[in-house]
Every structure is written in structure tokens, then in C-alpha cells.
Amino acid sequence: MAEETTGKAKSGKTFDSAYGFSFSIAVGLVLFIAGLVISLTLGEGTSVGLIFGIPLLAAGLVIPVFMMRDLFKTNEIKAPCPNCGATIRTSDATLQLRCQSCQQVIDVREGRLLRAE
């Protein structure tokens, strides 16, 4: 999913993250509701609903957490400030930051630090 958009615009990554975030929420919600419905409808009197419903409920809670953990596992960037050369440590989720040494505003683009215009 991520590979397809790497060649695109610079803002592609943030869009992907936002999309992935809502997608994992949606998947979790669908599984959770399906589990709820199954355990409530089939579950009356029998354990069938619970056998199918509970795992779905659990999956609905666990899957989004796993998907989001992947999403938030961003790459750390450690690079010298383009203005003063001081080492700046940030993540590729950062779009813009201010150098602590020279107060220069730095743009973070595709893992590289660029002096903001």
C-alpha cells in the first residue's frame, strides 16, 4: 500500500497515514459490530454465538491496535541541521521543526532535513 504512493507528491505520506488510521478503525469497528451481532443473535440459548462472536469482538479490538502500531512506527531521522550542522533527531512523521541550536525552521521531507524557505 505504501509502495504505490512513494513516487507521488510529498504530502502523500500524511494522507496515507490518515487513510490507514481511519481504515484500521473501520476494520476494528466492523469486526466488533459483527461479533456483537453474532453473539447477540446466534448466542441466545446456545454457545455458538459466543464461540464465533467473542473472537470477532476480540479481533475488532486487537487488529486496529496492531495496524496502528505499524502505522505509528515511524522511521527515526538523525541528520545534521542544514543551517548550523548540529545533529537533529526527529521522526519522518514530523513535517517541520525548529533547530534547537540555531532556531532555523527545518522542513522534513522524505527523511531529509531541508532549510525552510
Find the shortest distance in angstroms from Cβ 84 to Zn ion.
3
Q: How far is the CB of 102 from Zn ion (least distance, A)?
A: 3
Residue 98, classed as helix, strand or coil, is strand
Residue 57 vs 106, nearer CB to Zn ion: 106
Residues in the chain: 117
Contacts of 100 (CB under 8 A, 6+ apart): 86, 88
Identity of the residue, 17 or 104, whose beta carbon is nearer to Zn ion in the bound complex: 104
- Give 47 or 87: the residue with its C-beta nearer to Zn ion: 87
Closest approach of Zn ion to the CB of residue 101, in Å: 4
Nearest-CA neighbor of 110 among 2, 13, 15?
13
Q: Report the candidate in 39, 38, 26, 110 with the shortest Cα–Cα distance to residue 67.
A: 26
Binding site for Zn ion (CB under 5 A): 81, 83-84, 86, 99, 101-102, 104
